[in-house]
Structure 1
Amino acid sequence: MKIDYHMHFEYGSYDLSWVQGFFDSAAKRHIGEIGISEHTHGFTDFKTLYYKDVIHDDSFIGKFQKKWLQTNKFKCPLSDYIKFMDMLKAKGYPVKTGIEVCNFQDQTTVKQILDRQPFDYIIGSVHFLHGWAYDSSQIRAEWKNHDLKEIYEWYTQEVEKLCTAKIYDILGHPFNIRLFKFLPDFDVTPYLIRVAEAMKKTNMVVDINTGTRYRYPIKEISPFPAFMKIAAKYKLPVITSSDAHKPEDCGAYIDEAVTYAKSFGYTQRVKFTNRNREFIPID
């Protein structure tokens, strides 16, 4: 059974005419079950957390991010999304309710928000480094202001914080800091081990994510092979995902992700229901 557990309805609205395209693409690619993991920036519940953490001053990155925060964000309460997903399930759609949460510094408040709603799984993802949206192409120039060792240290620290919070089931797109092809000339193994060890302590799952394969210059699946070798050594469980933001991308390169996982010895992937796990063959 093929599964795609990381995608977003957010470019459209919560209506069947928009989301049907995701299920149609899944069917064409023989995906048996999809999971929707809406970004927290879509919900009013998280607005205060973003304005606390994200740089939105008059600096180069601040000006862009201020506009980003004000454009098509915080559209509805989280409860509206849950109600819509419950409706899809009631109609028999093969779907699970997830959410992708940014690496907020106030994890206590995050937990309070998430505990109010039922989820099948929760993804924690590092999207900001010291308030900077490092994956935004419009402010890519900011990378030149940082040493790559600094970036790897910051990223690793943020993952460790997510793991310590004990809120999340999955680490989203691990080490996608490679996305713009800023590749290190130093040994990154210590950072990879720290992330794997932190994930192991809290039993978090690796998101084998094809989004960086088709949406970014690096054109590789995340996480990259060096981390996958360590993840396999630590016996970290996996899911496969496309990180689709458009209907036609649902299930994109999932077959490639399966082959990729198998190349590191994986024979199973995780299937989630109500935060509970079932291991199924990865085929």
Structure 2
Amino acid sequence: MKYIDGHMHLENGPLTKEYVLQFVETAHQKGLDEIQILDHTHRFIEFEPIYEGLKVHDVQKTWLENKKMKFKDHISDFVDLMKDIQAMDLPVKVKYGLEVCYVPQYEDNIREVLSMYSFDFIVGAIHSIDGILYDMSFSKELLWNQYDVNHIYQRYYDLVFQLIKSDLFTQLAHPDTIKLFQIYPNYDLKPTYQKMAELLKQHHMKAENNVGCYYRYNHPDLGLSDELLRIFKDNDIPLIYASDAHKPQDVGNFIQEAMQRMNEF
């Protein structure tokens, strides 16, 4: 079996070979065979229109206006850099793609931008619920303390289902990261998980077993929940293990442990 880290970001650094090679070096030191480098679409100028809906809340508007982090680069610069990296003789195989914030009302915009470039993979992610980010320091005030938890979960998975059905993506990012604050609905999620598994299989998508919530948000689950792991395994959903590293030293974090855990199911 290949030892792969399927999800890491350059967003905290420049688009340079020197910075990318820090990720490669850590991967090599940790015995990885392959890494997948991707950045959030909010890094790229071409994707700025799909974030308009978030700007109705001042705190989100301020977050998006941080030009040191947001909408500062062109996609072509990223693609050219990664092609140069792939042409190098490296100890670890490098693939590249994007993590796309999927918002249904901007699906045509997303499709149009993606059609202009070639990537090794495209990761789809849900980061907001009807215009409100769910995973930020301000999310409890804007979302979790304002809306019914059952409604939040139902909307999140409705959006995940739409993402899968769009056929824009090869990989589903962190399928149950909505749990990151350890706030849960009072209904059984297993039927939802089963429907998600069936859709993933129908649309030929991989799902991530992403450990980012574990070490970045101190969630007790080492990746996906036990229930979701069992359902994915029972439905033969292809999994890719992912650190969700946002800095070079986190590449490969807890990948081996997550793989060992999966073997226990």
Contact 1:174 1:222 in 2 (8 A): no
Q: Which residue of 1 aligns with 2:160?
A: 159
CA distance in 2, matches of 1:95, 1:128: 29
Contact 1:64 1:139 in 2 (8 A): no
Q: Which residue of 2 aligns with 1:107?
A: 107
Contact 2:150 2:186 in 1 (8 A): no
Contact 1:152 1:191 in 2 (8 A): no
Deviation per residue, 1:155-199 (Å, 9 max, x gap): 111011111111111110011111011123331122212222221
Q: CA deviation at 1:144?
A: 1.6
Asked whether 1:116 is paired with 2:116, we answer: yes
Asked whether 1:215 is paired with 2:216, we answer: yes
Give the RMSD, CA atoms, in angstroms: 1.3
SS at match of 1:161: helix
Equivalent residues in 2 for 1:1-283, closer than 5 Å: 1-51=2-52, 53-54=53-54, 56-57=55-56, 62-71=57-66, 72-93=69-90, 94-105=93-104, 106-141=106-141, 142-264=143-265
Q: CA deviation at 1:132?
A: 0.8
CA distance in 1, matches of 2:146, 2:157: 19
SS at match of 1:41: helix
CA distance in 2, matches of 1:221, 1:196: 20
Contact 2:223 2:258 in 1 (8 A): no
CA distance in 1, matches of 2:139, 2:193: 26
Deviation per residue, 1:87-116 (Å, 9 max, x gap): 101113321011101112222221121121
Moved more, 115-124 or 12-21: 12-21
Moved more, 152-161 or 177-186: 177-186
Q: CA deviation at 1:139?
A: 2.8
CA distance in 2, matches of 1:225, 1:203: 23
Q: CA deviation at 1:32?
A: 1.1
Deviation per residue, 1:196-227 (Å, 9 max, x gap): 22212201111011111100132323321111
Letter in 2 for 1:6: H
Q: CA deviation at 1:253?
A: 0.5
Aligned length: 258
Q: CA deviation at 1:146?
A: 1.7
**Runs of 5+ consecutive residues of structure 1 not aligned to the other structure:** 265-283
TM-score by structure 2 length? 0.93
Contact 1:181 1:217 in 2 (8 A): no
CA distance in 1, matches of 2:232, 2:107: 25
CA distance in 1, matches of 2:138, 2:22: 29
Letter in 2 for 1:234: N
SS at match of 1:68: helix
Runs (4 or more) in structure 1 with deviation over 6 Å come to none
Q: CA deviation at 1:19?
A: 2.1
SS at match of 1:34: strand
Letter in 2 for 1:195: M
> Identity rate of aligned residues, in percent?
33
CA distance in 2, matches of 1:261, 1:37: 24
Q: CA distance change for structure 1 residues 222 and 174 in 2, over 3 Å: closer, same or farther? A: farther
CA distance in 2, matches of 1:99, 1:263: 31
